[in-house]
Structure 1
């Protein structure tokens, strides 16, 4: 049995399937943790959600938490919030993948699945969250600050506030070589977002999966059919 974590799929279904089926060769005995942002920006948000649901329904131990883009899709679909902050390049591929003109027409089963996602996952040795925590708050409040957990881009890691456990997160695209180098040091906090969706950027454009027991980092290069994406 192996335990893996990866993050920020952003509609990159082909790359995620390649990671799961060819690189990790995931079995039902393994555990796979996803740290959020399954949708938006990339070409096939619906396909990613379908695949995650299929894995779970087939008996694979796949646990997913929510990211800020998952929350944004959910809010826009259910509350009719304007979604201008993402821009057409991020919004239109998502709509196309669901075959709808408005987010309010996204089928309910996808919205229900997103709405059930937790904000964090606790393991005996790790805490998993999408973005991070506001460690300046008292521990109980820190873990109720959902805005920070979904959106923060900077924090000062304090293991005492997580019961001594290490922290894994996504959210901030980081050069693949930098993540690989940091993983070798077994740090207290590690970001795993290697910017897979940014297919034009050679420093990013990968999914990174960390083996939680060996600290081995498995990389899958973006292998999606060509799609429009802003450079980062």
Structure 2
């Protein structure tokens, strides 16, 4: 089977439960992650360690780059100021790596993030973190990395993706809304149900889609208590 999920944001316990108990992932399955493994949540390093462990163990786990992954990479390597996320997002990330500065995050993790692609194309789906600027010509559209990582609104045009469906994350959406939209089997579907926002009953779930059966799996946030801004 093929599965896709997104926006883990340091929620290691929830992700492990999804993989091991809900999906019961095998080495014959394929799991696609649509980005944002770090920041906001309690264990960014643990999420990256687990993803690397799965890949090293022969599991077919393919990961995309998200805007938070890019932000962490830029801040650590280019030493840009990282004020936009605020201390509630920044400090848990630093704590998970056991460092006081982003530039001290071990190169192993930064190299892994730097190697992540911006999109994955399958025979029937295109996977991206946020979406595309469909107003651009197709070739330019798929090189517009800023939109692919950050856009929150787009007008889906399947012709520009060769008739393939689009799966993305990035914008937290209530689980009930995702369930309703998925039932119609739309051409474009967002899978981010705001797992990290544990105080928000409409969100606070990690959602996976079975690309072969179109079945959704929802796992409620299972992390030990942590501080995060409400959404």
Q: TM over 0.5: same fold? A: yes
Secondary structure (helix, strand or coil) at the match of 1:85 reads: coil
Aligned to 2:51: 52
Pairwise CA RMSD: 0.3
TM score, norm. by length of structure 1: 0.99
CA distance in 1, matches of 2:25, 2:89: 30
Secondary structure (helix, strand or coil) at the match of 1:63 reads: strand
Deviation at 1:23, TM superposition (A): 0.3
Aligned to 1:203: 202
CA distance in 1, matches of 2:221, 2:46: 16
Structure 1 unaligned runs (5+)? none
Structure 2 unaligned runs (5+)? none
Q: Which runs of 4 or more aligned residues in structure 1 lie more than 2 Å from their structure 2 counterparts after TM superposition?
A: none
Secondary structure (helix, strand or coil) at the match of 1:86 reads: coil
Aligned to 2:107: 108
Aligned to 1:26: 25
Deviation at 1:65, TM superposition (A): 0.4
CA distance in 2, matches of 1:196, 1:41: 11
1:91-130 correspondence runs (5 A): 91-130=90-129
Deviation at 1:117, TM superposition (A): 0.1
The alignment covers a number of residue pairs equal to 231
CA displacement, residues 43-102 of structure 1 (integer Å, 9 cap, x when unaligned)? 000000000000000000000000000000000000000000000000000000000000
1:82-161 correspondence runs (5 A): 82-161=81-160
Aligned to 1:221: 220
Secondary structure (helix, strand or coil) at the match of 2:25 reads: coil
CA distance in 2, matches of 1:215, 1:231: 31
Secondary structure (helix, strand or coil) at the match of 2:31 reads: strand
